[in-house]
Amino acid sequence: MIAQKNPSSDTFIVIHPLDDAPEVKRTGEHLGEMEMTRGVRTLLLVLRGYLILMIALLGYHILDLAGVFSRHLHR
């Protein structure tokens, strides 16, 4: 909601977003490709490694709960 101060009095006019005029959307088509710096590339590789590690730990935990890595022999 947008609240605008009415200059002629001490009241506010509240405009609901559905009643407001639509805004002009911007696109990035005119920007072209951006060069990735070495620091950004390094951080993305670290993030990729972290995500792979977390997925591997989740998989291990699920398999452990399923009893694939049984530590006790059942009689």
Torsion sign, CA atoms 12, 16, 21, 24: positive
Each residue's pLDDT, cut to its tens digit, for the chain (75 residues) gives 555 555 666 777 888 888 888 888 888 888 888 889 999 999 999 999 999 999 999 999 999 999 888 766 555
Q: Tell me how far CA of residue 67 lies from CA of 12, 53, 54, 57, in angstroms.
A: 64, 21, 20, 15
For 63, the token pair is 């398999």
Q: DSSP secondary-structure letter at 4?
A: E
Alpha helix ranges (H) inside the chain: 38-65
Prediction pTM value? 0.52
